[in-house]
Structure 1
């Protein structure tokens, strides 16, 4: 059975979110495609906001699952 790949923009968002929630710099974005880069930065911003709000550890995992389900 073939596994469906996720949308590249969704993957970029989730990867950026992970960088942001771990407090890493926005300058570490590895993407060059403008649309994917913007999705990554949007995820990074969301992750930084969640880090500032205290969504780290177990709470961060639950938050990431909510973002992924949408």
Structure 2
């Protein structure tokens, strides 16, 4: 379970900042599952409360959720 990973932070994503709820060193990308160190975290969705490794993953997530909403 992701919550049991040592160093995993719990974040509340806002605009334009995020708030650390549970201290840790990193979060996981909602698309790839890759580790994202908090000091380089740049992409996230406030609405979905998800973090993304980069622009390609953020775009993929937005398209996936848009397509699900249209279905």
Range into which the TM-score falls when normalised by the shorter chain: 0.3 to 0.5
Q: Which structure's relative contact order is higher, taking Cα pairs within 8 Å and 6+ residues apart? A: 1
More strand by share: 2
TM-score if structure 2 supplies the norm length? 0.32
TM-score if structure 1 supplies the norm length? 0.32
More helix by share: 1
